[in-house]
Chain A
């Protein structure tokens, strides 16, 4: 280990007059002043107007997404509801004679899907557990509202905020294959 001997020689008379410290201070402060005023090198972010660009993979608020055709992906399996640690999700299934799903290869879709954003802890377990890849943690991190009821996001709102997630098209090819089966020329020997 090399040791460094720090110079601790007594202060000279000039240094003891405080002048070097004062002049040094003047220089530093003047430089920062000039940089901020004339070059605009301020570190402040004017928050509501300017916002952080969050990195990829950021776990923001969970929203429902639509598939490439604009149909609801969620099939109301309620896995997310059961897995949700703070119990923020509440799904109302359509029931036996409810409305059918708005995409062709699904049996049902939720009648109502509510996430209480005041309870949600942005853990991402709903996204992890979802077999249909219908719910994703997106980039919103500052949710505000004027009442508690306003902070319970319903299905319509969640779908609107979530947008279309065309990246993962899990059932697209399955559907094509299934359709191909209908007209598949069965060879008979």
Chain B
């Protein structure tokens, strides 16, 4: 740490940012892998099944007592899943538009990962702020990037040159566009209250004045439902809808390219969970304890990150849980809810909040 002081501020910034990016990227990737596992396990339990419980790599024998238990929980399953994706044949059908076909998975994943950059996932470690990019327009950046994600899906639908992906792509574009607006409008009252677009300031405001979920329950509900639609999760998984569109936009994809779509979906879930925690549930703070203020102590800093991850995990489980509760919406019902219910409600909510703030 001593030697770091002799470096110029720019070098320090680059160094720390690179470090944070690497760590966050690693955590998100691990998160994605284990989100898949949790999804499979929770789905199984809800359906009275057991779920993955067989993967036991050779080193399990060296783990005493808890080894077999971990195997039954399927802790090693993500490794096998990852390996499987690597080893599968990467098949490109002859009739696809090759350039876009290759581009689409990347366009899906990159925005999903970029959203995480502005999320304050902890207070400070030492003197470093625990956010990759502390932007003053954080939320605008997020919405700008998130809406790029839809291009990946639309492009996949177009490039596949096949009917099911095409229908998936069309549905996706209509769905994403309508829910994007409701989502954007739903968070405006939060900025009216917190008087800042910086996500760090919003967390700080919530630590001082109480969580937004209590002050803006309507905004939270709209954001939550819009987040389901944005991440293509049931009951809004129209672009994918296995039962009617085979695999939707990724019907023609295989191997790593398919894995990238998969990864993008789960990274999106993680990103929107993180957004909901930050905007509505107080980010890394925990009211009533000393965890609600930034601290110089390294341990408290780590605890803050832990609190954030725990809250995020709760939202991830909600995402998975809801999947087995509701049937898929019909296309017109989906648009109806988006345009004719949520947008007016969100606008009314803005108006009401503005009046209350002005008074």
Where the two chains meet, the residues of A that have a C-beta atom closer than 8 Å to any C-beta of B are 21-22, 25-26, 28-29, 32-33, 35-37, 41-44, 46
B49 touching A33, Cβ below 8 Å: no
Chain B interface, number of residues (Cβ within 8 angstroms): 12
Query: Which residues of B, 306-332, contact A by the 8 Å Cβ criterion?
Result: 321, 324-326
The answer to whether the Cβ of B42 comes within 8 Å of any Cβ in the partner chain is yes
The answer to whether the Cβ of B50 comes within 8 Å of any Cβ in the partner chain is yes
Partner of A36, one of B49, B321, B325, B326: B49
Q: Which of chain B's residues has its CB closest to A31's CB?
A: B46
Contacts of B50 in A (CB 8 A): 42, 44, 46
Tell me, in angstroms, the Cα distance from A37 to B45 when the chains sit together.
7
Partner of A44, one of B42, B49, B321, B326: B49
Where the two chains meet, the residues of B that have a C-beta atom closer than 8 Å to any C-beta of A are 42, 44-50, 321, 324-326
Q: Which of chain B's residues has its CB closest to A17's CB?
A: B341
Partner of B46, one of A21, A33, A43: A33
Contacts of B45 in A (CB 8 A): 32-33, 36-37
Contacts of A21 in B (CB 8 A): 326
Tell me, in angstroms, the Cα distance from A43 to B45 when the chains sit together.
10
Tell me, in angstroms, the Cα distance from A26 to B321 when the chains sit together.
8
Tell me, in angstroms, the Cα distance from A44 to B48 when the chains sit together.
8
Contacts of A44 in B (CB 8 A): 48-50
Tell me, in angstroms, the Cα distance from A32 to B326 when the chains sit together.
15
Contacts of B49 in A (CB 8 A): 36, 42-44
Tell me, in angstroms, the Cα distance from A182 to B46 when the chains sit together.
75
A35 touching B325, Cβ below 8 Å: no
Shortest C-beta distance, B347 to chain A (Å), equals: 19
B325 touching A42, Cβ below 8 Å: no
Shortest C-beta distance, A56 to chain B (Å), equals: 29
Tell me, in angstroms, the Cα distance from A42 to B324 when the chains sit together.
17
Contacts of B42 in A (CB 8 A): 33
A36 touching B48, Cβ below 8 Å: yes
Contacts of B46 in A (CB 8 A): 29, 32-33, 36
Shortest C-beta distance, B228 to chain A (Å), equals: 12
Q: Which of chain B's residues has its CB closest to A46's CB?
A: B50
B325 touching A29, Cβ below 8 Å: yes
Tell me, in angstroms, the Cα distance from A147 to B49 when the chains sit together.
34
Contacts of A29 in B (CB 8 A): 46, 321, 324-325
Tell me, in angstroms, the Cα distance from A65 to B47 when the chains sit together.
44
B325 touching A22, Cβ below 8 Å: yes
Contacts of B47 in A (CB 8 A): 32
Contacts of A33 in B (CB 8 A): 42, 45-46
B48 touching A32, Cβ below 8 Å: yes
Shortest C-beta distance, B46 to chain A (Å), equals: 5
Tell me, in angstroms, the Cα distance from A133 to B46 when the chains sit together.
51
Shortest C-beta distance, B6 to chain A (Å), equals: 55
Shortest C-beta distance, B317 to chain A (Å), equals: 10
Other A-B pairs, 11, CB within 8 Å; known A32-B47, A46-B50? A25-B324, A26-B321, A28-B325, A29-B324, A29-B325, A32-B46, A35-B48, A37-B45, A41-B48, A44-B49, A44-B50
Closest 9 pairs (CB-CB, A-B)? A25-B325, A44-B50, A36-B45, A43-B48, A29-B46, A33-B45, A33-B46, A29-B324, A44-B49
Shortest C-beta distance, B151 to chain A (Å), equals: 30
Tell me, in angstroms, the Cα distance from A25 to B324 when the chains sit together.
8
Shortest C-beta distance, B222 to chain A (Å), equals: 13
